[in-house]
Amino acid sequence: MSAENSPAERVAIGISFGNSYSSIAFTTGDGKAEVIANEDGDRQIPSILSYVEGEELHGGQAKSQLVRNAQNTVAYYRDFLGQEFKSIDPSPCHQSAHPVQHESTIAFKIRDTTEEKENAVTVSIITTRHLRRLRNSASDYLGKSVNAAVITVPTNFADAQKDALNKAAKEAGIEVLQFINEPVAAVLAYDAQPEAKLADKIVVVADLGGTRSDVAVVASRGGIYTILATIHDYEVSGFQLDQVLIDYFAKEFIKKHKSGGDPRENDRSLAKLKLECEAVKKALSIGSTANFSVESLANGIDFTSPINRTRFELLGNKIFAAFARLVAHAVEKANLDPLDISEIILAGGNSHTPKTAAAIKSVFPTTTTVLAPSTSPAAINPSELSVRGAAIQASLIQEFDVEDIEQSTHPMVTVTPHLSRAVGVLCISPDAATGKFHAIVDAETPLPVRRTAIIATPREGGDVLVKIAEAARHIKVTKPQPKSKPAKDDDDSEDDSDDESEEEEDEELREQTWQVGAVLSEAALRGLKKGAKVEVQINIAADLSVNAIYREVGGKGGVRGILQGGGAKAQNGSA
């Protein structure tokens, strides 16, 4: 197979390659992304390879080898690609083959052949083998040989890591059309739904994975995405939730079986515990009770124990709170307020846990939608978000030439200026202090941009002045009237909007307001009909020049004005 396929004979899929799980998806003829299950029926395919007597096991089959054949099983290697040995954290690999330094790269010493000897297999070879298995699964399903893909990567994936992944993919017969960022893929997966409406909004994507959690704040403006801030955390992750269950069941076991010893101190027992606890965690996301059951957990003793969701939520309280803190911190890093966030997209396996969604929801105002299975009926399976986004992107660009993709992705991306303040019209009063600001173009919108809004005019009609102004978002904090302790018995304060103040006396009332800045231009529309509406179209070019068109809805003519970017010189004319 040639390394670069001509666009005509490309069969492209989306691949999400994670440390814990990978998945593959394609786009159907009518533009819907569908996730492909492998031969084992798994849509979430563990990124694990294991070798038994020279035979290669992959995915779920390899994962079960973590118990009996841990030293020849390779797991959690995605983040090692393109890295130097001294910069990696090998701790997720404690229970499987350990990474070792091998020349300038990282390798695993495993018996991957029938021979009785250990080979050093580099992380890129492991990745190639893994991607080849994924590609074969997709090819089998589609009945066509897959030869191209869009692969999702974390936002902090360095170029060296992308290069290494690109090379490994090429070895596996996959031409990487583009690497896209995981959070953006998740946003795209939602926006590509036929019922989705394009809106200007700020979205937080919280990807809660097994070995790491990544949060990104994304400004979505007319379907174009800009990442405002990102946070990566390798401490607060799904493994910690597993650990909570591991500790709980290990203690229960010790209590019941004094002779059994601590199952955490024996490698094989610990591996069994770990696998079963992950399964219990998943079961608790769906049902309210689950059963932990392992044959011969330690010293040949079988162990069965039930757990309900409430107990799990109590045990994991600290970690759920940490997830919520992480999301709140990312919003802070973007210099935003929770009130600015319209949507939170929960991605990654741990977003299935209802308590995770509830904890995150609790730090945001009720106006913020949390998209997770337990909080929204419109939610997409969090595990499938990034792969769906990748599949959609793959279908969009598979017809392009490689140079086209490269040219479109690099130079112009970086040079896009974004509005620092919102631009809109000033309603009701001409005075900035008393006027009501109606935003037409939000801050952080990439330029050039064109937006149209319809605004109401004074009821009586007649001649109207339309002012276009800049404004900055401001959070107005109103402290409730200081009230003395017995004020609680007071009827009228009880009906106040801040009912929660029962616990916290000084609950602040926060709201979003606009701080109107400089007025940009004024325009007069004469002789409007009674109750007429005015359509205002604003075009802002990359050089910051503003072209505005004002027109009475249903009426003829109108006013057009251009504001130059460099100086305040105007060119006027009738539209």
Partner 1 sequence: PVLPEGWSGEKDFKPVGQLSQATDRNIEPVGPHFLAHARRQRHKRTFSEDDRI
Q: Which of residues 141-170 bind partner 1 (CB under 8 A)?
A: none
Neighbours of 232 (CB within 10 A): 15
Our finding on whether 433 is near partner 1 (CB under 8 A) is no
Question: What does the block give as tokens for 91?
Answer: 């701790």
Scored b (16 or more CB within 10 A) or e, 157-181 reads beeebbebbbbbbebbbbbbbbbbb
Taking CB under 8 A as the binding criterion, the range among 90-98, 250-258, 276-284, 428-436 that sits at the site for partner 1 is 428-436
Our finding on whether 2 is near partner 1 (CB under 8 A) is no
Which run of H or E residues covers position 272?
helix 267-286
For the chain, give the number of residues: 575
Question: What does the block give as tokens for 214?
Answer: 């990544």
Nearest Cα to Cα of residue 146 among 330, 329, 14: 14
Our finding on whether 538 is near partner 1 (CB under 8 A) is no
Our finding on whether 551 is near partner 1 (CB under 8 A) is no
- Contact between 5 and 175 under an 8 Å Cβ cutoff? The reply is yes
Nearest Cα to Cα of residue 14 among 171, 151, 154: 151
Nearer to partner 1, 32 or 268 (CB): 32
Neighbours of 197 (CB within 10 A): 6
Q: 132: Cβ–Cβ under 8 A, 6 or more apart, which residues?
A: 172, 173
Our finding on whether 402 is near partner 1 (CB under 8 A) is no
In the bound complex, what is the minimum distance in angstroms from residue 222's beta carbon to partner 1?
6
Distance CA 386, CA 14 (A): 9
In the bound complex, what is the minimum distance in angstroms from residue 542's beta carbon to partner 1?
8
- Contact between 41 and 245 under an 8 Å Cβ cutoff? The reply is no
Nearer to partner 1, 198 or 454 (CB): 198
Our finding on whether 261 is near partner 1 (CB under 8 A) is no
Distance CA 167, CA 161 (A): 10
CA angle 401, 404, 410 (to 5 degrees): 140
Nearer to partner 1, 360 or 422 (CB): 422
In the bound complex, what is the minimum distance in angstroms from residue 454's beta carbon to partner 1?
17
- Contact between 47 and 17 under an 8 Å Cβ cutoff? The reply is yes
Our finding on whether 462 is near partner 1 (CB under 8 A) is yes
In the bound complex, what is the minimum distance in angstroms from residue 10's beta carbon to partner 1?
17
Our finding on whether 564 is near partner 1 (CB under 8 A) is yes
Q: Is 380 left (phi over 0), alpha (psi -120 to 50) or beta?
A: beta
Our finding on whether 225 is near partner 1 (CB under 8 A) is yes
Taking CB under 8 A as the binding criterion, the range among 52-60, 118-126, 348-356, 387-395 that sits at the site for partner 1 is 387-395
Residue from 32, 145, 521, 555 touching partner 1 (CB under 8 A): that is 521
Our finding on whether 426 is near partner 1 (CB under 8 A) is yes
Nearer to partner 1, 179 or 292 (CB): 179
Nearer to partner 1, 100 or 224 (CB): 224
Mask of contacts with partner 1, 469-508, x by CB under 8 A? -x--------------------------------------
CA angle 441, 445, 451 (to 5 degrees): 35
Q: 83: Cβ–Cβ under 8 A, 6 or more apart, which residues?
A: 106, 160, 161
Residue from 1, 3, 8, 415 touching partner 1 (CB under 8 A): that is 415
Number of residues in contact with partner 1 under rule CB under 8 A:
81
Residue from 32, 418, 473, 533 touching partner 1 (CB under 8 A): that is 418
Distance CA 499, CA 234 (A): 38
Our finding on whether 554 is near partner 1 (CB under 8 A) is no
Residue from 208, 389, 551, 552 touching partner 1 (CB under 8 A): that is 389
Question: What does the block give as tokens for 507?
Answer: 């609950």
Our finding on whether 535 is near partner 1 (CB under 8 A) is no
In the bound complex, what is the minimum distance in angstroms from residue 334's beta carbon to partner 1?
11
Nearer to partner 1, 202 or 426 (CB): 426
Our finding on whether 454 is near partner 1 (CB under 8 A) is no
Nearer to partner 1, 140 or 191 (CB): 191
Our finding on whether 324 is near partner 1 (CB under 8 A) is no
Our finding on whether 16 is near partner 1 (CB under 8 A) is no
Token pair 């037409």 in the structure block, residue: 440
In the bound complex, what is the minimum distance in angstroms from residue 17's beta carbon to partner 1?
17
Our finding on whether 444 is near partner 1 (CB under 8 A) is yes
Neighbours of 9 (CB within 10 A): 11
- Contact between 382 and 347 under an 8 Å Cβ cutoff? The reply is yes
Nearer to partner 1, 75 or 229 (CB): 229
Our finding on whether 567 is near partner 1 (CB under 8 A) is yes
Indicate the DSSP class of residue 497: S
Q: Scan residues 175-204 and list those touching partner 1 (CB under 8 A).
A: 178, 180-181, 184-185, 188, 191-192, 198
Nearer to partner 1, 160 or 224 (CB): 224
Which run of H or E residues covers position 551?
strand 546-552
Our finding on whether 357 is near partner 1 (CB under 8 A) is no
Taking CB under 8 A as the binding criterion, the range among 6-14, 35-43, 119-127, 558-566 that sits at the site for partner 1 is 558-566
Distance CA 257, CA 252 (A): 9
Distance CA 373, CA 355 (A): 11
